[in-house]
Each structure stands twice: as C-alpha cells, then as structure tokens.
Amino acid sequence: MKAKSITIKFSIILLLFTTCKEKSITPFAISPSKLLYVKISTKSGLNLRKDPSDTSQKIKILKDGDIGVFLGYKGDLTEVSGIKGFWYNVEFNNSKGYIFSPYVILSYNKEILKDLDYGDSNFGTIIPLLRLVPSYKINQDLKYNDIWFENKPIERSINPIYKKIDLFETFQIEVFKEIEEDYSYYNVLFKNPDGNLKFTSNHTNLEPIKFSTKFPLLIGGITQCHNCDATTLYELYILKNNKILIIPHWSESENEECLYSDDIITETELRVSNSFNELHIKDTRFECIEIDEPNCEAYETCKNNPPIYFEKVHKKSYYIKITNHHHDLIIDGEFSKGKNKELNFEKYFKDTIPLELTKFSI
C-alpha cells in the first residue's frame, strides 16, 4: 500500500512537471552543427551582465555593431521596461554573460551581419538592419493626424484617411494618409501580437506598397525629399514582436538588358517555405560595362549610332533566409561579389513557393 502511495505521488509530481514544461516558452531551436552569431543593434549599446537579470552586475557595455557568439538562453519569456524578451547567454571577445534579446540580430552567417559595401550607393546592400521601434500603449491618446519622426510628432491640421489591415496572424497595421496640396503624407502604426502596444515605423513618411498575409512582411517606400525629383527608396520590413528587421535598398527592377554604361540591373525574388515560417530572399545586382564587340547583332545597343556595346557583369548576389521562430528571427544565407560569381538560387529555392503579395491601396 505504501509503495502504491509513493507511485501515485511520483506520478502527480511528474504530471505537474510535464504540464509546467509544456507552458514554458522557448525562443527557437538552434542547429547543433553551426555557430550562431549575435549582433548588437542599438545605438546606446547593450549591457553584458553576469546573470540573466536587469539588476545583475554589469560586466561591460557592448557597442552597437559588436558581433559575438550565442551560447544559449536562460529562463522563460520575461519583461524589462515594458518590452518582452529572453536572456541570451553570449560570448564577446572572451567575455561571457547575458544580454536581453530584443536588442540583437541573430545569424548563422557572420558575414551577413556585417555592413558589407554599405557605402556603395550605386549597388547598395541588403544586409539586414534591426530597428527596435518606439512603442505606445493602446489606451494612450495618440494623435492620429500626427506624422512621427524620431519619436516626436510633426502635427498636421488635416484629418487623415484611415485604413486597418491584417498583415500576418495577429499582426495589424494602421495607416493614416494625409493630403497636402499635391503631396501625400503617411503614418504607419503597427499593433504587436501581444495586443497591448502600438509602435511606429519611425520614418517621417513611410508609404505602404505591398504586404503579405502569409509572412509578417511589408514593402514600403520612402521619398528622399519633399517636392523634388528624387527616387523613392524601397525597403522590406519584417516584423517580430517589437522588432522591425529592415532589408534596405530593395528593388523590383524590370530592366533586363544593358542600354547605358551607368545601368544597374537588379534581379529580385521573394519565396517562402511550404510551412510559411521561412522567407527566402534573392537579390542579384549587375553593372553594365562598355566592351569592344564586333558581333553587333547580338546587342540591343546596336541601334545606337554610332553603336556602343555593353556587357552585363555580375556585381554582387545576396541569398538571405529568415526563419520566423516562436519569439525571434534567425538569419542565414550567402553573399558573393565579382564577375562570374552569381549564387546558385535553384539550390536555395528548393521546396519553396513564390510569396504572394497584396498591393496596398487607401
């Protein structure tokens, strides 16, 4: 009878342990055969702490852009200063400790975390950037006719046109459009999955172009200046809780042939896994080089008088895979530059399907 009682008690304890374990939230599962790198992405820097707590001893301050190695995570989802995240165990230059997850980017490819050729204005880069956006409680009195810039509102006197759409599962965006003479201003507010916060894109005038209902992605356009002929810059916005992961210098160029020596030809594609938890990005850039070509009939530029011949030369290729885990995003991919070094996208896109995008209108 005593043995039976002990067995019953043990079963109850095991059941309680199993139940608690099932309720525990994990940020993601990592590959055991690959190093996972961590990049600090906050201008103010981030404290490396001895223990997983915001009151723990500070070991050092990690600077914006510093890259270290992910060792694991400690504890469950927690909240610090109103923002939810995990404590990641990391190592930076032989210093081990803990950092808070909302302020970092994770990637299996260290080169993808670096701002390669970021100053190359002609060819840009699509190396992901992280923006932890300012958040506001829903019951806070937000002025919907404000355009937000650097956490401060620029007040407008015109009542905006309003539209709300479901971007992905519980993610929503609210768009406010204001027309002043011949120019339109936009303000985009995102509602996070927790349902108790709204946050902005932190751009003066982000115009939604396309969005996906299968993956938390928005393509937005930003005009470089008001009342000028500057080209609108396009960016991909991938959303996760209070993070906005930005893919800059995005292009959907249809130019396929070199017509001028300063042409830049871009080939891009967005695909997703069948489970819709992985976004696959192709971005290949070509430059047009003037060449001495006697076989004029092979080139469209033979129509020029006198004829000028161009060759389309590979400049750089990016393949980026972004996995949408339960509480964080992990980046993987490849980067290549130089003539005849285009990446093999057929291999990367195996078992994927095109990502359907909906054109935004208001």
Q: Are 284 and 338 in contact (CB under 8 A)?
A: no
Query: What is the arithmetic mean of pLDDT over 58-73?
Result: 93
Task: Grade residue 144 by pLDDT with cuts at 50, 70 and 90.
Answer: very low
Write the DSSP string, 215-275.
Answer: SSEEEEEEESSTTS-PPEEEEEEEEETTEEEEEEEE------S--STT-EEEEEEEEEETT
- How confident is the model at residue 154, as a pLDDT? 53
Q: Provide the mean pLDDT of the chain.
A: 76
- Nearest 10 degrees: Cα torsion 5, 6, 8, 13: 140
Taking residue 115's Cβ as centre, other Cβ atoms within 10 Å add up to: 11
**Selection from 15-24, 99-108, 136-145, 205-214 with the highest mean pLDDT:** 99-108
**Selection from 48-57, 184-193, 242-251, 256-265 with the highest mean pLDDT:** 48-57
- How confident is the model at residue 162, as a pLDDT? 79
Q: Which residue would you say has higher pLDDT here, 45 or 25?
A: 45
Residue 139 has pLDDT above 70, yes or no: no
Q: Where do the domains of the chain lie, and which CATH numbers do they carry?
A: 27-107 (2.30.30.40), 111-359 (no CATH)
Instruction: Write out pLDDT tens, residues 230-283.
Output: 567 788 888 887 777 888 778 776 657 777 777 778 889 999 999 999 999 998
Q: Which residue would you say has higher pLDDT here, 181 or 322?
A: 322
- How confident is the model at residue 60, as a pLDDT? 96
**Selection from 67-71, 113-117, 125-129 with the highest mean pLDDT:** 67-71
- How confident is the model at residue 167, as a pLDDT? 79
Q: From CA 203, how far away is CA 198, in angstroms rounded?
A: 15
Residue 169 has pLDDT above 60, yes or no: yes
Q: From CA 216, how far away is CA 279, in angstroms rounded?
A: 10
Task: Grade residue 53 by pLDDT with cuts at 50, 70 and 90.
Answer: very high
- How confident is the model at residue 240, as a pLDDT? 81
Checking DSSP bridges between strand 243-250 and strand 329-337, what pairing results, if any?
Answer: unpaired
Percent of the chain beyond pLDDT 70? 67
Q: From CA 59, how far away is CA 24, in angstroms rounded?
A: 28
The type of residue at 271 is: R
Task: Grade residue 356 by pLDDT with cuts at 50, 70 and 90.
Answer: very high
Q: Which of 256, 255, 259 is nearest to 310 (CA)?
A: 259
- How confident is the model at residue 17, as a pLDDT? 37
Instruction: Write out pLDDT tens, residues 295-347.
Output: 665 555 565 555 567 788 888 888 999 998 878 889 999 988 888 899 999 99
Both tokens of residue 239? 């959303």
